[in-house]
Structure 1
Amino acid sequence: MTATQPAPAAPPTDAPTSIFDPTLRSVTIGLLALVFLGAFEALALTTVMPAIAADLDGTAWYAMAFTVTMGSGIATLAFAGALADRRGPALPLGLGVALQAAGLVGAALAPTMTAFLLARVLQGVGAGLAVVALYVVANRAFPAALHTKIFAAFATAWLLPSMVGPLAAGTIEQLWGWRWVFGAALVVLALATVALRPVLLPRTVAAPSDPSDALGDLSSAPGTGVPPWPRRAIAVSVLLAVLVIAVNAVAETPGAWRLLGVLGLIAVLVALRPLVPVGTLRARAGLPAPIAMRGLAFAAFAGAEIYVPRLLVEERHLTPTQAGLALSLAGVAWCLASGAQGRWEQRLPLRPTLTTGAALIATGTASAVGVATLDLPWWVLMAGWTLVGTGMGTIYPRLTTVALGQAPAGQDGFVSSALQTVDNVGAAAALAASAIVFATVGAVSVTAGYAACFLLSTAAATLALLVTTRVRPGPNPHETGSHASDPD
């Protein structure tokens, strides 16, 4: 802070200091329950999908059960952000919860694989609407001093299902059948809905002198006027979803089809431009930089993650349970690092923190290259992937806080949508690129195939490390009156 800048106003003495403050507790529980549901549903499906495919005679559509949900979610992100900016987060959140409920019921009752896939589309649309609204609610309902804490809590809520979700889903499937797994998810969704009543059914805003209304007015963000509908961005998001599904579908096909996959990846990057702030693909300093860095980091993580247990099982001859320990260690490390950021944010300067986190991710993925090519022991990969989890947990809540803190007035829905878009597209593009590389290089040498995939992730992590120099804390545009680029 320079000598000419006024000191920031001290927060009100009665402002909440904990995300579980009585005025915020219900909303916090509801938000965390939705995050928990997303993780549980994803992990549970992975566990019971073999039984579903066998029961519904849908083995040929096995992978599509995952990709249609991802694609339909991407298709709704721009619409969800625009709706939150125009009408507040309650409407997209309510629609998202309702569609997720319909999808869970449809999946539980599906008589055929076609019906099951349609239910998965409903779940994806609902999740896309809800996750954007979830971040907008967090940004508007919680004081700025608690933003990193609530985003760090999201990581914990995501970790818990990774520890108990597969076991719980497997147990439910064995005792009562796979359909009841979706029933269990529906119970979690119902609990989240009850807890989120203050958001879904907002009351009249209390007078400014009344400090008891900690949630304030979530119906609109500060600013002037109503932002226009980004029709082009909404249309492009649907096209992007189709491209993502198509690219992943052809990624592992032989011959010329892989070339189409490469061309599809280029088309995905082009289609991404209208859905993020101008300058994001160049990682321009300011608002675009933290969004770009988050997409690169998640691409590095997702592109390598699926090959870590595969290498440990196929090349180091560990059991699947032993190999899965690498993913569990990374998940725990992610959670602990996020918790540290939420607790000690004020003591940890932004740029050194982001630099350290990105360096940990790059070091961890590079260790995977060493294990693949230099015949290093398996525990090196375990330790390296733990570093990756630590790095992700270090940067994620801080990048989210920085990006939403720089969202211009009335556009935190757009920024939330952009964050979710780069996460999903980064992961999908990285998975497709890794599949193409592994299928191509691995045909010559399996070891070289693993190394090439991990090198791709190391390159993405290195780019994220370079972007840290362009990420900077800035004044909240809600207060300064600055304007972002037109999301359209």
Structure 2
Amino acid sequence: MTALEPSDAVVAAETADRADDEGVLGRSYRALSVGIVSVVLLIAFEATAVGTAMPVAARELDGVSLYAFAFSGYFTTSLFGMVLAGQWSDRKGPLGALTTGIGSFAAGLVVAGTAQSMWVFILGRAVQGFGGGLVIVSLYVVVGRAYPERLRPAIMAAFAAGWVVPSIVGPLASGAVTEHLGWRWVFLGIPVLVLLPVALALPQIRRRAGGPVQGGADAGFDRRRIRLAFGISLGAGLLQYAAQDLRWLSLIPGLLGAALLVPAVLGLLPHGTYRAVRGLPSVVLLRGVAAGALVSAESFVPLMLVTQRGLSPTLAGFSLAAGGVTWALGSWVQARPGAQPYRERLMTLGMVLVAGAIAAAPSVLVPAVPVWVVAVAWSFGCFGMGLVIASASVLMLRLSAPEEAGANSAALQISDALSNVVLLAATGAAFSALGGGSMTGAAGSGSHPAAFAAVFLPMAGVALVGAWVTTRLHGPGDRTAS
């Protein structure tokens, strides 16, 4: 090297300076951003498409009686994957967890797509769930390590935007593939598409976010947390099973599930989460409250429109399609530089919009109310969710020390997923107890209107609790350990 040539340190410093001035699609971040958002896009497409293919798959595999387990199997193993990914990412870096997660997700798709029996199909879904749990947490850690704080709102908005096209196109594409090629290709077509985003993202992740945190120990896994992860997965599975079978005997697995679930949750989430302690615990709690309220209510919207207003399943599904666009719009708004000083106020507004949307939905039980009211209300509610969910992720990373980003990302996802299962179990039980009736029917038949009111009104109340939690997102001890 001559005296006129810059040193490696100078080149690295100049590169860092240029990167600091770039956006998420600037030269320094483009390959990484496109790669990880593409992974989110494919997971989103699978999540939105599978619901269309699942009834056909269950019927052909003679497994309609096991239908619910194809969903709960995915959920319970994803919880375990989330905790494992947090441990793995904090101690070894996110690269190993991400590659294993993508491989497991693809392998599960292949197992499900080639299954000749329902139990093998459920096994494939369980492998998928494990991989999905690994992927989502490790991606959050990648964001925390590879992007400066000023770019994190933008990449979180890009994650939300990755759900827009799948939420609109996914069900239609899945229906066309199922009808013309067979349901198996809904599962078998996606693994091949994973190769390109992986090829783009992995070299950048290795360079920017590989290995343990600088100055941290490359330690082994915390066996206690792994045991708690197993407990939370098994407990959630038992609780879901009990909620699906409203008999006295179901109290046994329900109580056993709760006995496993409660100590595991208390051990895996930040101390004080369910007391809404200021700072990180309230951020984690808000994520669960927001997601659980909307998802639990949204699950019953198509059923309500089909059984009470006589819409076809396709039209009922379209009533929620615009929500994907407005969710992305809300995420984009929270990412604007001018919105940063008002982040908490925007999150409060978001939860109020979510509560209003859920409360407005059952108005269509009155025949004089046009059905498009649901579509409009849900668009506003999903805009609110875009403000809340992306902002919660940004705040979680801001309040986490580098060596805690994995565990806290896992806690955020656990709160989301666990709230879904608990509130879905509660609303499902209330719906059945108040005359929920059949899952299909003509207008005015099937499920009793009061059963739908028992779902939507309590969930609107849960969303209002979330609005209160948004007032407790900052305070003493912002860097709360998980």
Alignment TM-score > 0.5, same fold: yes
1:275–1:374 CA distance, 2 compared to 1 (3 A): farther
From 390, 394, 401, give the equivalent of 1:397.
390
CA distance in 2, matches of 1:223, 1:398: 28
CA distance in 2, matches of 1:258, 1:452: 22
The aligned residue for residue 405 of structure 2 is 412
The aligned residue for residue 196 of structure 1 is 201
The aligned residue for residue 17 of structure 1 is 22
From 463, 466, 475, give the equivalent of 1:464.
466
- More off after superposition, 366-375 vs 424-433: 366-375
Asked if the contact 1:102/1:123 (under 8 Å) is kept, the reply is: yes
1:281–1:24 CA distance, 2 compared to 1 (3 A): same
State the identity as a percent. 34
From 132, 142, 146, give the equivalent of 1:141.
146
Give unmatched runs, 5+ long, in structure 2.
Answer: 1-15, 438-446
Deviation at 1:453, TM superposition (A): 0.8
The aligned residue for residue 451 of structure 2 is 449
Q: Aligned to 2:20, what secondary structure does the other structure show?
A: coil
1:345–1:325 CA distance, 2 compared to 1 (3 A): farther
CA distance in 2, matches of 1:61, 1:109: 18
The aligned residue for residue 8 of structure 1 is none
TM-score normalised per structure 1? 0.87
- More off after superposition, 150-159 vs 466-475: 466-475
Deviation at 1:145, TM superposition (A): 0.6
Please list, as runs of the form range in 1=range in 2, the aligned pairs for 1:151-166 lying within 5 A after superposition: 151-166=156-171
The aligned residue for residue 7 of structure 1 is none
The aligned residue for residue 182 of structure 1 is 187
1:183–1:423 CA distance, 2 compared to 1 (3 A): same
Asked if the contact 2:362/2:453 (under 8 Å) is kept, the reply is: yes
The aligned residue for residue 244 of structure 2 is 252
Deviation at 1:13, TM superposition (A): 5.5
Please list, as runs of the form range in 1=range in 2, the aligned pairs for 1:314-463 lying within 5 A after superposition: 314-344=307-337, 346=339, 349-372=342-365, 376-442=369-435, 446-463=448-465
CA distance in 2, matches of 1:236, 1:356: 35
The aligned residue for residue 90 of structure 2 is 85
TM-score normalised per structure 2? 0.88
Asked if the contact 2:109/2:191 (under 8 Å) is kept, the reply is: yes
Give unmatched runs, 5+ long, in structure 1.
Answer: 1-10, 204-214
1:405–1:222 CA distance, 2 compared to 1 (3 A): farther
The aligned residue for residue 6 of structure 2 is none
Q: Give, as a single letter, the amino acid of the residue that structure 2 aligns with 1:45.
A: V
May I ask how many residue pairs the two structures share in their alignment?
A: 457
Deviation at 1:425, TM superposition (A): 0.7
Does 2:225 correspond to 1:233?
yes
Deviation at 1:44, TM superposition (A): 2.1
Asked if the contact 2:242/2:251 (under 8 Å) is kept, the reply is: no
Asked if the contact 1:223/1:410 (under 8 Å) is kept, the reply is: no
Asked if the contact 2:35/2:198 (under 8 Å) is kept, the reply is: yes
CA distance in 2, matches of 1:71, 1:260: 19
Please report the RMSD computed on the Cα atoms of aligned residues, expressed in angstroms. 2.5
Deviation at 1:366, TM superposition (A): 1.6
1:193–1:14 CA distance, 2 compared to 1 (3 A): closer
The aligned residue for residue 169 of structure 1 is 174
Asked if the contact 1:84/1:413 (under 8 Å) is kept, the reply is: yes
Does 2:59 correspond to 1:67?
no
Q: Deviations over 1:73-94 (max 9, x none)?
A: 1122111101100000001011
